[in-house]
Chains A and B, each alone.
Chain A
Amino acid sequence: MQQEKKKGDFRVVNHAIPRRDGRAKVTGRATYVSDVKLVGMAWAKVLRSPYPHAKIISIDTSKAAARPGVYGVLTGNDLEGINPYYGHAVKDHPLLAIGKVRYVGEPVAAVVAVDERTAFEALEFIEVKYEELKPVLTHDEAMAKDAPLLHDRVFEAGALRGFEGDTTAGKGSNICQAHHIQWGNVEEAFKNAAAVVEGEYYFPMTYAYAMEAYVAIADVNDNGVTVYSSAQHPFMVRHDLKAIFNLPVSQVRLVVPFVGGGYGSKSYTKIEPLAAACSWKFKRPVKLQLTIEEAMLTTRSDDALTWMRTAVDANGKIIARQAKILMNTGAYAENSPLVVEKSTNRCVGPYSIPNVQIDNYSFYTNTVPASSYRGFGCAQVTLPGESQIDELAAKIGKDSYEFRVMNAAKNGEEFFPKMRPFEGSLKQDLDIAAKALRWNEPAPKGRAKSIACSTSDAGAYPLTSTAIRVHADGSVTILTGSTELGQGSHTVLPQIAAEELGIPFDKVHVMSSDTAITPYDRSTGASRTTTLMGSAMIDACREAIQQMVAMAADVLKVKTEQIQVIPGGIRAGEIQLNWSQIISKYYALPDGEVIGRAYIRKAGRFAQIPVFWETVSTGVEVAIDEETGKIDVEKLVTVGDVGLAINPALAEGQDIGAATMGLGTGLYEELVYEGSQLMNGSILEYRLPRFKDTAKEIELNLVENQDGAGPYGAKGGGEGSLNSMAANIANAVARATGVRIRHAPLTPERVWRALKEQKAK
């Protein structure tokens, strides 16, 4: 824990400084990949499969290729010379369908042309002959004895390290991944329980909807591969591209300018290999910009069908939880094997439960591939988990808030065997939520309240490096591999550097996410940037200061022990020098620089996984129109247990954003398949949260006990308040009407139907 200063001591950190990129973004001056043009750049457009599962018999591209303005057409038959399979967990994903298509919407061919419209207009001149195969669309169909196999070979592993499990993909079944955790004796505990609740819950497939759809510009030439991309994790994409083109790391460059929202949907490799293959084949830079509708055919979240039971003893102590989860992961593994592992862990919740058994399976099906989604499997299992907490409390006649407090994991408790002990103050968080909701006062007629909570083993893998350059004029450039997705890294990281170096915030600037320039950072996800990159920032600043102390000693002809570091510089006896003076005197010119470096690895304070526990409590008060089943959110409360908010306004912004996304999945959002066809694959049909849906009253709270492993005791935030929102909605409906709905989203018709069925009983 890097925690010398206490809350109240900070000069720059822990202040709500306006975000660095705010003005550029609201005035339209911020550069995104879609704004980037390269000399001689062509455009690609993708032909997609109309079938869920089919053999490709032949592709005739001659008519499309002959059209004016078309440079050529790339198909799965043209990929000799590169390794066309990629994948973060297992390399099961061809950059274009090779011999077979596995979902409606899978890329089959790409036209490369002088402009986007010309490429698009040529698509319908490509003639593809398919032979349809029996599709596998659901968990049940995937498990059936005579189910066709989506993949019939074992794949090479991808870059997913720190992944404890062994992938099961391609081993003779449609199981993409299985993961199990177990401690205590579940059977025994349920036998001796005073009360048990049991049920089956469904959390739907969702689309993350980043306002910016996937976009990449690739330039493959004799010098290597350069790709401008909307990727969250440029270094992970580099890994895939390096393997595809069999190049050294130094010849693969990913450049990521501002990203228009990620929410997990832009983690890992997406369209970069296809754009790069187009550039490689037709020997010019190629831009591939998907539409939102195409993005919806690229990545979604895993759905989850969860059977769960939870038991208490006579004192109201939770003694056991068991669950079996089935996830539909679509045609390719992407990052879902890790989603499986994380959702398994996250079934436990922030509770101390002595007997646990969770079994989780994800299945390949002929649907859009699923992958990371904000919260990473946590929302899927928090719907059952937090529903059952309320169901159990009701069953034993306890107040659900008090029941949570009583079973909450305590700070320092090893509530999850072999993991980092719990770091947080859940009781305090729940108390704040209860107070904000006036928990003790009854809700007005037609309304009800709910409080819920979650904790996630967050932070992904601790491998992060950074460099800071202190210039001779005393200003600073940060080199960071963390991507600015809107979460605020371009503001938070300079705040930390300014704090450490004792200089104004305005003197620190960021250069981010260019793998040829910025040091390695494994990912920008799992709420990890503040904790890991923030810690690296402190280390790099302190290392730079050490160097400058040595320089000052040299310049002043004193021993380093005689030098005292003060804000913005040093003091040696009567002499004070700022960083600019030290550097200028050292080089004997007002020029030059000092480079501070830091490397974070799975060691020291980050030796234990997870990097931190992301713990959030949320609460709602909802109004239910029983005639239509429509739910309105009257009040929303979030309590982020963030250790220390480096920028409180940004931390709150993340919490309300995630909670709103969670409301979406609680109330409206779901990808609807009818057979093999995605029925609502456009934002006209896919119902996202709107301003009108946001709560009439919102209270955002941050708990800052400086108890995290990150900078000054900070922990990550940004995902947690999503996780418990669907459960909150279901719990509030149950409290208002007595009807328990175990299927998200709680759409008006679903609520109306449940109420109707209850009345019929």
Chain B
Amino acid sequence: MMPLRRFTIDQPKSVKEAAEMLAHHGENGRLYAGGTELLLAMKHDLLRYEHLVDVKTVPDLNTISVGNNNLHIGATVTHRAVERSAEAREHCPVLVDMEHNVANVRVRATGTLGGNLCFAEPHSDPAALLLALGAHVHVAGKNGERKLNIDELIQGAYETAIAPDELMTGVDIPLAAKSRRAAYMKFQIKERPTLGLALVLDVDGGNIKSARAVVGSISPKPARSDQVDKILAGSRADVEKRLADAAQELAKVADPVDDLEGSAEYKRHLVGVFLKRAFIKALS
């Protein structure tokens, strides 16, 4: 890590002002939330910005609230705050469980959920789980607000659908129904996970009415497919028999590559191991 190059920090007081600042700076500026990814990349001289717009100074983006159908988490809420939130624990325990294991305590204390999603680092734990949970994000810009689901938001490695002059204001996660069973498991050897597997099931007795499986970290963006989810629905006994097929299909969709975290072959194998483990955990 090198010394940081010189830059200025803007401190907007509203979403509108933040969007204006971003529009003004163009590609010389970047939104700054927790900075755990951004500043690291700047210290490694991989990214350069002359201006950072500190979204943390915008009031009310750091709150967690419970609505009729959704758990709302503001964009500048830290991982640690989610991990310790009673509302999140009650309404989305799998989220708390996932956040508890994000990186390390220093990253969790500083890094924000919004920053994590917007940086779109391919090894994001939240992105994989939130995609499985069917969450969506709110994005605001000069021309008003729009809503994106996670699949729409994350376009690829470090790429999102958010325009340079827009910012994310928060995430809505569907409240846990009594029939929802969910698990997020990951295999992590290095600083970032090799693989994350999120599984959300809607169960009725011994029957899995619907399923949503997402594999993260092994591809540029979290991967899922309707076909995989279809294989994972049905009677528990039948689904158990089809887990290997589902895993194979999920690995195919993710299409992992060889890198320092492992060979594509190994990652495809791990999808099977962790789909099985997540299945057991979700239903336990």
Contact B4 A628 (CB under 8 A): no
- Least distance between B195 CB and chain A CB atoms (Å): 10
Residues of chain A within 8 A (CB-CB) of B77 are none
For window 293-352 of chain A, which residues contact chain B by CB distance below 8 Å? 293
* A684, CB-defined interface residue at 8 Å: yes
Nearest A residue to B192, CB-CB:
A684
Q: Is A292 an interface residue (CB 8 A)?
A: yes
In angstroms, Cα B188 to Cα A316, docked, is: 43
B2 touching A628 by the CB < 8 A rule? Answer: no
B106 within 8 A of A: no
Contact B5 A747 (CB under 8 A): no
CA separation between A292 and B2, bound complex, in Å?
A: 9
- B269 on the A face (CB < 8 A): yes
Judge whether B206 is part of the interface by a CB distance below 8 angstroms.
Answer: no
Query: A476 CA to B192 CA in the complex, in Å?
Result: 52
A residues near B4, Cβ cutoff 8 Å: 117
> Which residues of B have CB within 8 Å of A120?
2-3, 5
Q: Is the CB of B3 within 8 A of A117?
A: yes
Query: Do A121 and B266 have beta carbons less than 8 Å apart?
Result: no
Cα distance A628–B2 in the bound complex, in angstroms = 36
Which of A291, A684, A748, A752 is within 8 Å of B2, CB to CB?
A291
A627 with B273: CB separation less than 8 A = yes
Known: A628-B273, A679-B260. A116 touches B191 (CB 8 A): no
Residues of chain B contacted by A293 (CB below 8 angstroms) = 1, 44
Report chain A residues within 8 Å CB of B5. 117, 120-121
Per the bound structure, the CA–CA distance linking A680 and B191 in Å amounts to 12
Q: Which residues of A contact B44 (CB under 8 A)?
A: 293, 682
Bound-complex Cα distance A312 to B12 (A): 77
Evaluate contact between B260 and A668: CB separation under 8 angstroms: no
Docked CA distance A121–B4 (Å): 9
Contacting A680 at CB < 8 Å: which of B2, B260, B266? Answer: B260
How many of A's residues come within 8 Å of B, CB to CB?
24
Q: Are B191 and A752 in contact (CB under 8 A)?
A: no
Q: Which residues of B contact A687 (CB under 8 A)?
A: 189-191
Indicate whether A672 sits within 8 Å of B273 (C-beta atoms), given known contacts A291-B1, A684-B191: no
Q: Give the nearest-CB partner of B261 in chain A.
A: A749
**Cβ < 8 Å to B, chain A residues 656-681:** 668, 672, 679-680
The reply on A685 being an interface residue by CB < 8 A is yes
Kindly state whether residue A753 has any CB partner on chain B within 8 Å.
yes
Inter-subunit contact A117/B263 (CB<8 Å): no
A749 and B263 within 8 A (CB) = yes
Q: Of A668, A672, A682, A752, which one neighbours B266 at CB under 8 angstroms? A: A752
Q: Which residues of B contact A45 (CB under 8 A)?
A: 2
B262 an interface residue at 8 Å Cβ cutoff?
Answer: yes
B6 touches A753 (CB 8 A): no
B49 at the interface (CB under 8 A from A): no
Q: Mark B259-271, 1 if CB is under 8 A from A, else 0.
A: 0101100100110
Which chain B residue has the least Cβ–Cβ distance from A119?
B3
User: What residues of A have a CB within 8 angstroms of the CB of B190 in the complex?
Assistant: 684-685, 687
In the complex, the chain A residue whose C-beta lies closest to that of B194 is A748
Within 8 A of B (CB), among A262-300: 291-293
Given contacts A628-B187, A682-B44, are A116 and B266 in contact (CB under 8 A)? no
Whether the pair A752, B269 counts as a contact (CB closer than 8 A) is yes
The answer to the question of A630 belonging to the interface, with a C-beta cut-off of 8 Å to chain B, is yes
In contact, B1 and A628 (Cβ under 8 angstroms): no
Quick one: closest B residue to A629, CB to CB?
B266
A131 to chain B, nearest CB (A): 26
Assuming the A-B contacts A121-B5, A752-B269, are A672 and B260 also in contact, with contact meaning beta carbons closer than 8 angstroms in the complex?
A: yes
> Beta-carbon contacts of B228-263 to A below 8 Å, as 1s and 0s?
000000000000000000000000000000001011
- Please give the distance in Å from B277's CB to the nearest CB on chain A: 9
- Residue ID in chain B nearest A682 by CB atoms: B44
Known: A116-B3, A120-B3, A687-B190. A628 touches B270 (CB 8 A): yes
Closest residue of chain A to B190, judged by CB?
A: A687
Q: Is there an interface contact between B273 and A668, defined as CB atoms closer than 8 Å?
A: no
Task: Give A727-755 interface residues, CB cut-off 8 Å to B.
Answer: 747-749, 752-753
Within 8 A of B (CB), among A30-64: 45
- What residues on A are CB-neighbors of B187 within 8 Å? 628, 630
Judging by beta carbons under 8 Å apart, are B3 and A748 in contact? no
Whether A668 contacts B3 by the Cβ 8 Å rule is no
Q: How far is the CB of A192 from chain B (nearest CB, A)?
A: 45
CB–CB B6/A117 < 8 A = yes
Contact A292 B1 (CB under 8 A): yes
Q: What's the nearest-Cβ distance from chain A to residue B108, in Å?
A: 15
- Shortest beta-carbon distance, B267 to chain A, in Å? 9
User: Considering the chains assembled together, what is the distance between the CA atoms of A687 and B191 in angstroms?
Assistant: 8
Contacts of A749 in B (CB 8 A): 262-263, 266
Instruction: Give the CA-CA distance A536 to B191 in the complex, in Å.
Output: 46
State the CA gap A117–B3 with chains docked (Å): 6
Q: Residues of B contacting A672 with CB < 8 Å? A: 260
**For the complex, what is the distance from the CA of A630 to the CA of B186, rounded to whole Å?**
13
**CB-CB contacts below 8 Å: B77-103 with A:** none
Residues of B within 8 A of A630 (CB): 187, 189
A121 to B45 Cα, complex, angstroms: 11
B260 touches A685 (CB 8 A): yes
Alpha-carbon distance between A668 and B262 when the two chains are bound, in angstroms:
12
Distance from A378 Cβ to chain B, minimum over Cβ atoms (Å): 26
Taking the closest CB of chain A, its distance from the CB of B39, in whole angstroms, is 13
**Which of A291, A679, A685 meets B191, CB within 8 Å?**
A685
Contact residues of B between 1 and 23, Cβ < 8 Å to A? 1-6
Residues of B in contact with A (beta carbons under 8 Å apart): 1-6, 40, 44, 187, 189-192, 260, 262-263, 266, 269-270, 273
User: Could you show 13 A-B contacts with beta carbons less than 8 Å apart?
Assistant: A116-B3, A117-B5, A117-B6, A120-B5, A121-B6, A291-B1, A291-B2, A292-B1, A293-B44, A672-B260, A685-B260, A749-B266, A752-B266
The 9 closest A-B pairs by CB, nearest first: A117-B3, A749-B266, A627-B273, A684-B191, A749-B262, A116-B3, A291-B1, A120-B3, A687-B190
- Which residues on A are within 8 Å of B, measured CB to CB? 45, 116-117, 120-121, 291-293, 627-628, 630, 668, 672, 679-680, 682, 684-685, 687, 747-749, 752-753
Beyond A45-B2, A627-B273, A680-B260, 12 additional pairs, beta carbon < 8 A? A120-B2, A291-B1, A628-B273, A679-B260, A682-B1, A684-B190, A684-B191, A685-B190, A687-B191, A748-B262, A749-B266, A752-B266
